[in-house]
């Protein structure tokens, strides 16, 4: 548009899907345009990364010169004197190691790779903390107190109560709904088995105790795990591959890693919960509680039909009784009138 400023035009170019950014350099008084991605993409004979018609808008209005394109080069390095690798970015990840290229050199560079023990420890600790939180929350639901004197409220009852009173009442009414739930109990048992059963890795470690991870001795913790930090860090320092296999050995059978086993257990538990309680994608006939709800609704409908039949019968009997009483009253009046005339 004719009302667009230079900066707004350059911003539109930068925000577009062209893959370039454009800006105005006040010091030189020139417009600069460059690719957003680094590395060599244009393999044509010209080698230019940005091509345009010099007689078009970019050339005539923005005064950009396509002949001044600087082209691009890929980062290139030779690994171990044998493998030459190119990267469009100034970094490359090889066998889990990320190389960052900050300057050009023709000399050999020696690289020493050390294990980041603290980072690995923190990841394991975070995972175990999450597991302990699941144990705590699930056991709290399984042992939650049931308040039998707080049945669900009816609409009429809610009309007579304040919002705070309704909230407190419903908290009591919902308490203990998962008490003793077999699906959750089985899930907890399976997760504990996943932690404690041996993992046949063929390496130095096949159980958690060797890493300094064991079950809390406090029965109130309900099987939470505690970590011996020094022992775990020592294992990570001396044999990180052995620790990795114990946790993440992605194979089937007795060698399956602990994390993989727990993921399997959680999948089974979630499927069991879905079969029992359903989800937003299922109809009532596709899960157990839904079927029971439908059965209860059918029973309610049947009972309402039964009550309607009883009501109709009573009304019929009442109407017959009223008819009989009316007839008796008429007969009584007739008799009284007969006696009166005598």
The pLDDT tens digits of the residues spanning 298-324 come to 999 999 999 999 999 999 999 999 999
Rg (CA), the chain: 40
User: How distant, in Å, are the alpha carbons of 165, 166, 230 from that of 158?
Assistant: 9, 7, 57
> Phi and psi (nearest 5°) for 173?
-65, -35
CB 208 within 8 Å of CB 231: no
Confidence band, pLDDT 50/70/90 cuts, at residue 227: very high
Asked whether the predicted pLDDT for residue 236 surpasses 60, the reply is yes
- CA 102 to chain centroid: 38
- 60/241: higher pLDDT: 241
CB 105 within 8 Å of CB 99: no
Sign of CA dihedral 132, 137, 142, 145: positive
The pLDDT value given to residue 222: 87
The pLDDT value given to residue 44: 55
For the segment 20-72, what is each residue's pLDDT rounded down to a tens digit? 787 877 777 777 777 766 766 666 555 566 666 666 677 666 667 666 666 66
Helical (H) or strand (E) element with 65: none
For the segment 158-191, what is each residue's pLDDT rounded down to a tens digit? 999 999 999 999 999 999 888 888 888 898 888 8
Quote the pTM value: 0.56
What residue spans of the chain are helical by DSSP H?
Answer: 6-15, 57-60, 117-142, 155-159, 163-174, 182-196, 229-238, 240-248, 258-277, 288-341
Averaging pLDDT over each range in 72-86, 225-239, 327-341, which range is the top one?
225-239
For the segment 87-146, what is each residue's pLDDT rounded down to a tens digit? 777 777 877 777 777 777 777 777 766 678 888 899 999 999 999 999 999 899 888 899
The pLDDT value given to residue 166: 92
CB 257 within 8 Å of CB 207: no
Least confident of 68-77, 139-148, 325-334: 68-77
- CA 239 to chain centroid: 33
Residue 173's CB is within 10 A of a number of other CB atoms, namely: 17
The pLDDT value given to residue 69: 66
Q: What would the DSSP string read from start to end of 239-307? A: -HHHHHHHHH---SGGG--HHHHHHHHHHHHHHHHHHHH--TT--GGGSHHHHHHHHHHHHHHHHHHHH
């Amino acid at each position: 548009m004719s009302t667009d400023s230079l900066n707004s035009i350059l911003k539109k170019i930068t925000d577009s899907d062209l893959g370039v950014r454009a800006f105005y350099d006040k010091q030189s008084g020139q417009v600069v345009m460059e690719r957003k991605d680094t590395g060599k993409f244009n393999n044509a004979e010209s080698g230019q990364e940005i091509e345009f018609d010099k007689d078009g808008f970019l050339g005539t209005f923005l005064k950009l010169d396509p002949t001044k394109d600087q082209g691009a080069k890929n980062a290139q390095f030779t690994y171990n004197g044998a493998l030459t690798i190119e990267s469009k970015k100034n970094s490359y990840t090889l066998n889990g190691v990320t190389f960052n290229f900050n300057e050009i050199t023709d000399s050999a560079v020696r690289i020493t790779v050390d294990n980041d023990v603290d980072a690995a420890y923190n990841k394991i600790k975070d995972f175990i903390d999450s597991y302990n939180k699941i144990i705590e929350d699930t056991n709290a639901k399984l042992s939650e107190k049931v308040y039998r004197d707080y049945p669900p409220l009816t609409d009429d009852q809610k009309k007579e109560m304040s919002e705070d009173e309704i909230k407190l009442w419903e908290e009591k009414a919902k308490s203990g709904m998962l008490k003793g739930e077999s699906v959750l109990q089985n899930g907890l048992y399976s997760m504990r088995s996943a932690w404690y059963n041996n993992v046949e890795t063929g390496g130095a470690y096949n159980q958690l105790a060797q890493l300094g991870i064991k079950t809390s001795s406090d029965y109130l913790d309900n099987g939470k795990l505690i970590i011996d930090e020094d022992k775990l860090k020592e294992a990570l320092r001396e044999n990180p591959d052995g620790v990795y296999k114990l946790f993440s050995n992605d194979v089937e059978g007795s060698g399956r890693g602990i994390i993989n086993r727990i993921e399997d257990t959680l999948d089974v538990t979630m499927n069991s919960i879905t079969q029992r309680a359903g989800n937003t994608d299922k109809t009532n006939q596709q899960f157990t509680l839904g079927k029971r709800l439908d059965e209860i609704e059918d029973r309610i409908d049947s009972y309402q039909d039964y009550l309607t039949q009883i009501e109709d019968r009573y009304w019929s009997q009442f109407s017959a009784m009223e008819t009989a009483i009316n007839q008796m009253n008429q007969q009584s009046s007739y008799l009284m009138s007969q006696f009166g005339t005598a």
